[in-house]
Structure 1
Amino acid sequence: MPFCFVGKHQLIVKTEITEDTKKSNIKDEVKKIVNKPTITKTVNITMDKGLFKTIKRARCTPVFEKDKHCNNFEVVLAHSTATPIRNHNGFAYTCIFCTDHFKYPADLKTHTLMKHNNSDDRRKFMKTQTSGGYLLKLDITMLKCNICDESIDTIEELFDHLQNEHKKLIYTDIKNQMVPFKFNGEELKCAVCPRVFTTYKVLLGHMRTHYRNYVCEICDYGCLNRKLMLTHKKSHKTGSFECDTCNKVFETFQKMRQHAYTIHKFKSMPAKCTVCNERFKSFPIKDQHMITVHGMTPVVRKCLACDKIFPTQLALRIHTKKYHLMERDYKCKECEMKFFAKDQLKCHMLKHSGKKDFQCDVCLKWFTRKYVLSEHMRIHMNDRRYKCLQCGRGFVQKCSWRGHMRTVHGETDITVLY
């Protein structure tokens, strides 16, 4: 560097000059020197205060990644209708600034734009963020520019608009860790692709397929930020990981940490109420607590394909995969049959092995499955639980009852089932 600062308004110019340039002015002294015999000379110059400040401002000051995220966050929230979301607890959306809860995203947007439309709240939030763990979930439903009221469709288009039309500073040399969401109607639809989801949590997990800022070189898993990627990479490390509390050993760090949190830290009570922080043994119990104690509206978990209603999100997810997506990941090695669950495949394999481990104590007949033996025992107990409503006959097995309804009363399978 040819310039360095000394004192308050002094500039020292260090350069290489020849004997022929001793009497030249400052501009000539700082020019690039041709290959001639040179000597080193230091020139002390007292400069004007204004010129000193101009040169000082021109010096390159590095901008850290967190500061760039902070700038983009401030610009987007100050000049658009985009509103941030903290999380969704299964019942309501939470404000990122004050943790107030709102059942509908539109109510959260109104609250944020009216109550938190100031720089103090935004700066306070960014102080809690780190570069590696920064992640901003944005509601961009009916997104508009606050300066010119122009409607905008995506976050990327908003960046371009604020830069080109309004000359706002947006750092584009960092990975975009703002995840967009659009809430149009009752459906949770991805803001990037046409896929529809039943819960906000599942939708958030899906967004990592679009924002693959960090990709695992082992399994190609994509993450939104560095912190999530570092956590994921630990799942690939295998070995002996011992619990510090009970000395149990696990094959992966992830399993050991999950054990430590679930058993020792949370005392086998993983479900936490987001309102009063009370913990419960299961999420359905927690959901019932939030309904009865905190007045949350019960969530209707309805299948979008067949309108069936389920008590838990897990039950709905299993139903969707099994009956609508027709997932069959477990294939029989002996025949071409495929099954949804591992237990189904295990039960099917008994047909190929012919192994019979269950014997009737009355007639000594052997069976391959325990539940078949249980049904068989109803014969000896004369348990005719399946009744025909038309003629009053009773049957031990459901298949016998169905056959009776078809052959005697002319009922079809559909009528019998429903």
Structure 2
Amino acid sequence: MAKHTGEKPYTCSKCDYRTTDKSYLSSHMKTHLGAKYYKCDQCDYSGHVGHFDRHMAKHTREKPYMCGECGYRTATRSDLTKHMRKHTGEKPYKCGQCDYSAAQKSSLGRHMAKHNEDKPHDVSAECGYNTNEKSPLLVHMSEHTDEKPYMCGECGYRAADKSKLFTHMTEHTGAKPYKCDQCDYSAVEKPSLEEHMVTHTGEKPYMCNECGYRTDNSYNMSRHVKKHTAQKIHDTVGELHVVIASSKVRCNPSSYLITLRYKLRRRSANVAFECHPLF
């Protein structure tokens, strides 16, 4: 009820921040603990502590984990585990709603989103926005309540969710903490790295619902889908032209195309064609 009444009963003991939700206060309190970033003493790079070992391996060149099948080496055990799936064909991430399986958790996540489209959604009482997960709804509700519990210690910038603050921090540090262990690619955000990694694993998680075409990235899929859209427009043009031809009239080609283009854009049934009789 506090979200609707405007009451903010949860108060930060270290500053004047107040909020309507206990979870927001918990997130805010973490900003007082200090950012978990480190500065490399061998270069200008700085990033999250979770990526310390991976980054330092670039300086030390140490790659203690080796694949017994092909000699591939990496700095971390988790990367070797992922690599081994190329040889074993293992796909440990299983969908609980169909027989789909994937070698990477991110691929399963994209697949599950398709199932979630059919699930009941949580709905915002303010504007009708709906989602099938609680976390995105909380982030969305912050747009109505103006809650921004995540604060940048460098400039005071505030964000509604942790991922936005993390992305913002890279503006200060210049960091691209998500590194590919198989090439020099690096990214500011984890989803970008996840999409890049499928170029190494050979997975093609993006599938066209029209024809079954698969690809390893969203950009290629977007281009492919446009081909189907163009074909549908072409078919529609053909059907309209047949109807016009059957009425024993000849259209001036230029005016026909201009009128049709306008008709497709406006979806108007009241646009006249400039035609000439056949007899």
- TM-score range (shorter-chain normalised) is 0.3 to 0.5
Query: Based on CA coordinates, which of the two structures has the bigger radius of gyration?
Result: 1
More relative contact order in 1 or in 2 (CA 8 Å, sep 6+)?
2
TM-score normalised to structure 1 length: 0.25
Point out the structure with the larger helix share. Answer: 2
